[in-house]
C-alpha cells in the first residue's frame, strides 16, 4: 500500500513537471537574449561577438519552434534535454565573450581600460 502511494505521488510529480520545463525553456531563452542585449549595450560584446551569439541563439529558437510544431505544440523530454544542453553551451559562450578582453570602443566597458594610468 505504501509503495503504491509512493508510486502514484511520484507519477503525479513527474507529470506536473513537464509544463514547468517547457516554460523554463522559454524563460531561459528570454534571459539569455537579455544577457546578449546587456552585453551589446554595455560594450562587453563586440559587434562580431554579438552577431555570433545571436546566430546561435536564433538557431536554438528555431529548433524549439520546429520541435513544437512537430509535436502538437509540446516538447518531448528528449528535446528538452537536448535544448537544455544547447542553452548551457550558449550560456557559457555568452559569459566567455562578455568577460574576455575585447570591448566595443566608445562604450562604458571601454572607459576603464582607456582611463587606466599607463605606468601601472
Which has the higher per-residue pLDDT, 56 or 103?
56
Domain ranges of the chain: 19-103
- H-helix or E-strand containing 67? helix 47-70
Which has the higher per-residue pLDDT, 116 or 64?
64
Compute the mean pLDDT over every residue in the chain, rounded to the nearest whole number: 82
Other Cβ atoms less than 10 A from the Cβ of 28: the count is 17
Q: Which of 86, 79, 78 is nearest to 29 (CA)?
A: 86
Which has the higher per-residue pLDDT, 105 or 78?
78
* Confidence (pLDDT) at 120: 52
Average pLDDT over residues 9-35: 71
- Taking the C-alpha atoms of residue 79 and residue 50, their distance in angstroms, rounded to an integer, is 26
- Taking the C-alpha atoms of residue 112 and residue 97, their distance in angstroms, rounded to an integer, is 18
* pLDDT, tens digit, 9 for 90 and up, residues 44-59: 999 999 999 999 999 9
Amino acid at each position: 500500500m505504501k509503495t503504491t502511494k509512493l508510486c502514484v505521488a511520484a507519477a503525479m510529480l513527474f507529470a506536473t513537471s513537464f509544463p514547468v520545463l517547457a516554460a523554463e525553456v522559454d524563460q531561459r531563452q528570454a534571459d539569455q537574449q537579455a544577457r546578449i542585449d546587456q552585453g551589446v549595450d554595455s560594450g562587453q560584446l563586440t559587434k562580431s561577438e554579438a552577431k555570433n551569439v545571436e546566430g546561435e541563439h536564433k538557431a536554438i529558437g528555431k529548433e524549439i519552434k520546429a520541435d513544437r510544431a512537430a509535436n502538437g505544440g509540446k516538447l518531448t523530454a528528449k528535446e528538452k534535454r537536448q535544448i537544455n544542453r544547447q542553452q548551457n553551451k550558449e550560456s557559457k559562450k555568452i559569459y566567455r565573450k562578455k568577460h574576455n578582453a575585447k570591448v566595443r570602443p566608445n562604450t562604458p566597458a571601454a572607459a576603464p581600460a582607456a582611463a587606466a594610468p599607463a605606468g601601472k
